Structure 1
Amino acid sequence: MAGLAIDGSNPDVSLLQDINGLAGSAPGWFDRGMRYAGEYGIVVGLVLLLLWCWWSVRRRGAAEDSVAAVAGLLWAPLAAGAALLVNIPIRDFVARDRPFVDHRGLDVLAPARTDFSFVSDHATLAMALGVGIFVAHRGFGLAAIGLALVEGFSRVYVGVHYPTDVIGGFALGTAVVLLLAPLALALLTPLVSAVCRSRRAGSLVRSRAARDADRAESDAVAAGSGPDTGDEPGTRPLGIPEPRPDDNNLAA
C-alpha cells in the first residue's frame, strides 16, 4: 500500500504537492497559523463548539429534545475515541510512510512524525466530533463539519499527510459515529433522562430556568385537569331547571 503514493504522476501525490506548494508563497504568519490550527487549534475549537452546543440545548426546547441532544453530544467524543482505536490496526496494516519520507522538497511545517500516515488521526478525530455534533444539533453540526474539513486541509498543507489519508480519516470517523449511533443512543438516552430528573445533576441536561418552566407548565396542566362543565362555579349546567321550593314536599 505504501507504494501507491510513490509515483509523482499519482493524483494523490500531485494534489499533495499542489496544496503543500501553497506554503512556499504564503506569508509566514499564515503558515504558523495553519500549523497551530492543524495540530491543536481546530480540535480545541471543536471541543468549545460542543460545549457551546450543550449550553444552548439545555436552555432551549422541550425536555425530550434536551435529553436527545445531550445524549448525542455525549456520543460525539465517545465515538471519536472509538474511531481512533479502530484506526490503530488499520494504520499498522496499511503501513504507509509519511509523504516527506518518499518525496523530497516538501515544506514540512509540522513536527516530522515517524509513525505511519494512513489513516490521519487528526482527520478521524475532527470528523467524528463534527458528525457527532451534527447528530445532536444540525446547526452546530454543520459548523463543526466545516471545521473538520479545514483540519483535513491543514494536514496536507503542512506536509504530513496525503489527501487520501485525510479522506480515509473522514470516512472512518463518519462511519463509526453513524453505524454505532443507534446502539450508543439507546444506552445513553435513558442515562441522560435519569440525570435530567435528578435534583442535583438535572442542570447538566436542563438549565434551572428551563426546569422551572417545565414544572410551572406541569402544575398548570394538573390544575386544569378536573372535569370541565363549561360554567362558572356556583351555576348549574344549561338545560337543568332550578329546583322549586316545594319539590321536596312533592317527592315526599
Structure 2
Amino acid sequence: MDTMTDDLYRDVTDFANDTPTWFQHLAEVWTELGLLLFGVLFIVAWWRARRDDPRALAIAVLAPLVTAVAYVCSETLKSAVDEERPCRAVAGAVTSIVECPAYGDWSFPSNHSTIAGAAAVGLALAWPRIAALTLPMAVLMAFSRVFVGVHYPHDVAVGLLLGAVLALVLVRAATRPVARVGEAMRGSSTGVVRWFAGPGSPMPTPQAVTSHRRAASHRR
C-alpha cells in the first residue's frame, strides 16, 4: 500500500520527468554546485571577519566547522536507519534523473540537505545580510535531491532541520571560547597565525556596550 511520502515522491519525480532536459541538467548540477557556492561564501565570510571583532571571527570560523559536524551526525544517523533509496523502493516511480546510488548508500537523512541547512544557518549567523541568499539556496538544494529522484521528501526535510538546529546550537555554544582563541591568535608572534586571524577590531567591553546603549537612549 502506497504511503503519503511515496505519493509525494512520485508527484515530484513525475513533474521532474516532464520538465525540459536543460532544466533537469540544471537541477542535477545544482545538487553539487550549491555545495561549492557555500564553500566560497565560507571563505568570503571569514575574510570579512578578519577585520571585525573576535566574536565575528569566531562565528565565521565556526560556520564551516559546524557544517562538517552536521555532516558527520547525518552520516551516523543514515548508517543507523538504513532506509532504502526511493529510486529503488517506490513502485511505479519514473526512472530517477541521476543514477540511483549503490545499495548501502542509504537515504535517510539527506547528507546534502543537512550540509545545506547547517551552512545556510552558519553563514546567516556569521553574515546576517546574506541570509536571504543562503536560506533559499539550502531549500533549493534540498528540493533538488527529491527532484533528481534520489531522496524522499522527508529525507530532505529532516536533513535541513538537523543541519540548521546543529549549526544554531553549536555556534551559540562555541562562540565565546573560540573568540578568546581568535583574540589570542591576533597577538601571536607567528605571522601565519596573525594573518589567519586578521588585524581585527577590539572586542567591546561590557562597559563600552553599556555606554553605547545609554548614548543611543539619550539620542532618542
TM-score bracket, normalised by the shorter chain, equals 0.7 to 0.9
- Secondary structure (helix, strand or coil) at the match of 2:139 reads helix
- Secondary structure (helix, strand or coil) at the match of 2:84 reads coil
Q: Does 1:168 align with 2:155?
A: no
Q: Does 1:58 align with 2:50?
A: yes
Q: How many aligned residue pairs are there?
A: 197
Partner of 1:72: 59
Runs of 4+ in 1 over 6 A off after TM superposition: none
Greater shift after overlay, 16-25 or 196-205? 196-205
Q: Does 1:30 align with 2:23?
A: yes
TM-score by length of 1: 0.71
Bigger helix fraction: 2
Counterpart of 1:94 in structure 2: which amino acid?
Answer: V
Report the alpha carbon displacement of residue 15 of structure 1 after superposing the two structures with TM: 2.0
Greater shift after overlay, 102-111 or 77-86? 102-111
How far, CA to CA, are the matches of 1:48 and 1:89 in structure 2?
A: 26
Unpaired runs of at least 5, structure 1? 1-6, 215-252
Counterpart of 2:45 in structure 1: which amino acid?
Answer: C
The structure whose RCO (Cα within 8 Å, separation 6+) is larger is: 2
Report the alpha carbon displacement of residue 198 of structure 1 after superposing the two structures with TM: 4.1
Unpaired runs of at least 5, structure 2? 203-220
Partner of 2:94: 106
Structure 2 residue corresponding to 1:15, chosen from 8, 27, 46: 8
How far, CA to CA, are the matches of 2:50 and 2:72 in structure 1?
A: 30
Partner of 1:182: 172
How far, CA to CA, are the matches of 1:197 and 1:20 in structure 2?
A: 55
Q: Does 1:46 align with 2:33?
A: no
From the CA coordinates, give the structure whose radius of gyration is larger.
1
Root mean square deviation of aligned Cα: 2.1
How far, CA to CA, are the matches of 2:36 and 2:78 in structure 1?
A: 24
Which residues in structure 2 correspond to 1:96-175 (within 5 Å)?
Answer: 96-103=83-90, 104-113=92-101, 114=103, 115-175=105-165
Report the alpha carbon displacement of residue 111 of structure 1 after superposing the two structures with TM: 2.8
> Which string of whole-angstrom CA distances, capped at 9 and with x for unpartnered residues, describes residues 139-171 of structure 1?
123311221111101000000000100011011
- Are the equivalent residues in 2 in contact too, given 1:192–1:205 (CA < 8 A)? yes
Report the alpha carbon displacement of residue 11 of structure 1 after superposing the two structures with TM: 2.7
